[in-house]
Amino acid sequence: MREQSMPELPAALVHEKHELSNGMRVVICRRPHLHRICLLLNVASGCRDEHLPGTAHMLEHLVFRGSKNHPSLRLLSEAFEACGADFNAYTAREVTSYDVSMPAESLGNVLSLLGEVICGPRLSGIASERDIIREEILSDYDADNSLINVDDLLVSQFYGEAGRPIAGDPDDLAKISRSEVVAFYEAHYAAPNMLLVMTGPIGPTQEVLDVLESSFRSLRREFNPWRRRAMPEIYFRALMENRRTEPRLCLKKYDGATQSEVLLGFLTPAAGSAAFPAIEMLVRVLDDGMASRLSRRLVEECALVYDTEAFISTTQESTLLQIRATCRHRRVARVLGAVYELIREIARDGIEDAELDRLRKRVIWEHLGMLDGVAQLAQWLSSMILQDMPSDIRVRCQKLVSVSGEDIRAAAEHLLESCSHIAAIVGDIGDRGVDEIRETMKQSLNTGIGVTVI
């Protein structure tokens, strides 16, 4: 196969930034050759801003239960679908996002509908929604309502109370009242706390802004950011407490599955830091497809797992680099040992130029491909702007391809030697298995291991 030359970087991403009279930020990114428009309305508040676990997520669910003119889930859904639109949402730790995809000719109608829903939700039907959310989260808990979701387990170990599950636990759901949901809505659903990103074949700017002014004019203009910081103070204290180098093993003994879930987490600098591009490229070295090192080692060479992945999740103050695998209970120690050995090899030997060139090409192709999808582009722009990072794809792409092999080697070394590190495991691990895992971690990391059994 002929060697392909390095592709050109994507062109600078042209997009407009505006602010409505009520303080809502609006970003318009035109892609005139496409056929659908994506709207992503981001409320810069999530589960870490609540006082009662699950409130932000409950509010997101109740928004779909209707507005004044469309007072039920069915009527509201019919209104969006009559415009050819798909209306969805999700709650995260720092943001709640409502996304709508539609044909270009429906933009005006959809903006009016979205404004109606966000500005005046009925917030009714909480009893029914409790049952629905309970079904949504049921697989995350055992028969005793004890958490068995390894992702939530890891985050809670790093971030304490503010790392609790986004939807709350089954006991939390019973405590959430409509008044609690209304209070959260009134505290956080204010225009200055919102960012609306629009991508696709969008019409003249002034026409769009006029519709937005009309559709969202009733949003509250006043917003005190201090209220948003009340809960994150707890989060920040937990974060500082975890900035230590002693690795920890967090184990949830669970005999309800035939395999163990394994998740390693390393606490690394925030996305806006100078170190972040090298961390992201290290993740790509580990997992950028089945030919990457993590899959090659665990799947192809050692035959320990069927699938594995490495990924990052960001908050305003930090980034979690995570490595996931699922395996038979007795193989957990071997899987961990193989992962540590792999990272140690990168920290010791770095990567060859050919591997780095391959990664750089794939980075460029990935960013070029992002320009072909309105939803992915809207999500990316929202993420960059909410984190106060450059919102130009060319700039971000350039930062990544400028990372050197030495930068990646140093990032791997820092991961093992200086980053707070937790291994979270959910499975049927006996006392002997715990000893094996602890000894593997101790030998791989040349340090003592703290153990937490839940």
Q: In the structure, what pLDDT confidence band is assigned to residue 235 with cuts at 50, 70 and 90?
A: very low
Structure tokens at 386: 């909410």
* Mean pLDDT, rounded, for 284-288: 98
Long-range Cβ pairs for the range 322-325 (8 Å, 24+): 322/154, 322/263, 322/264, 322/265, 322/266, 323/263, 323/264, 323/286, 323/294, 324/150, 324/261, 324/262, 324/263, 324/264, 325/262, 325/298
Per-residue pLDDT tens for 187-234? 999 999 999 999 999 999 999 999 999 999 999 998 876 444 444 444
* Mean pLDDT, rounded, for 102-111: 98
Q: In the structure, what pLDDT confidence band is assigned to residue 338 with cuts at 50, 70 and 90?
A: very high
275 contacts 411 by C-beta, under 8 angstroms? yes
Per-residue pLDDT tens for 166-198? 999 999 999 999 999 999 999 999 999 999 999
Q: What percentage of the chain carries pLDDT values higher than 90?
A: 83
Mean pLDDT of the chain: 92
Q: In the structure, what pLDDT confidence band is assigned to residue 325 with cuts at 50, 70 and 90?
A: very high
* Gap between the Cα atoms of 55 and 46, Å rounded: 9
- Chain-centroid distance, C-alpha 119: 26
* Mean pLDDT, rounded, for 345-349: 97
Structure tokens at 33: 């050759």
Q: In the structure, what pLDDT confidence band is assigned to residue 332 with cuts at 50, 70 and 90?
A: very high
Q: Which pLDDT score, from 0 to 100, does residue 245 have?
A: 58
| pLDDT at 239 exceeding the cut of 80 | no
* Gap between the Cα atoms of 276 and 399, Å rounded: 10
Q: Which of 264, 242, 191, 205 is nearest to 441 (CA)?
A: 264
Q: Which pLDDT score, from 0 to 100, does residue 182 have?
A: 97
**Beta-bridge partner residues of 25:** 19, 195
Q: Which pLDDT score, from 0 to 100, does residue 346 have?
A: 98
Of the candidate CATH numbers 3.40.1350.10, 3.50.4.10, 3.40.50.1220, 3.30.830.10, the domain formed by 16-143+160-234 belongs to 3.30.830.10
Q: What is the dihedral of CA 307, 310, 311, 312, to 10 degrees?
A: 150
- Enumerate residues 6+ apart whose C-beta is below 8 A from 397: 9, 10, 363, 364, 367
Per-residue pLDDT tens for 39-63? 999 999 999 889 899 999 999 999 9
What is the phi/psi pair of residue 176, to 5°? Answer: -80, 120
Q: Which pLDDT score, from 0 to 100, does residue 233 have?
A: 46
3-state secondary structure of 308: strand
Q: Which pLDDT score, from 0 to 100, does residue 241 have?
A: 52
**Beta-bridge partner residues of 260:** 327
Same topology, domains 16-143+160-234 and 243-453? Answer is: yes
* Gap between the Cα atoms of 151 and 414, Å rounded: 23
Per-residue pLDDT tens for 361-419? 999 999 999 999 999 999 999 999 999 888 999 999 999 999 999 999 999 999 998 88
Q: Which residues of 14-29 are buried (b: 16+ CB within 10 A; e: fewer)?
A: ebeeeebebbbbbbbb
Greater confidence, 122 or 238? 122
* Range in 74-83, 181-190, 242-251, 305-314 with the lowest mean pLDDT: 242-251
What class has domain 243-453?
A: alpha beta
Q: What is the dihedral of CA 361, 363, 368, 372, to 10 degrees?
A: 130
Structural domain boundaries in the chain: 16-143+160-234, 243-453
| pLDDT at 135 exceeding the cut of 90 | yes
Q: Is the dihedral of CA 437, 424, 332, 270 positive or negative?
A: negative
Q: Which pLDDT score, from 0 to 100, does residue 244 have?
A: 54
Q: What is the DSSP string of 232-261?
A: HHHHHHHHHHT-----EEEEEE--SSSEEE
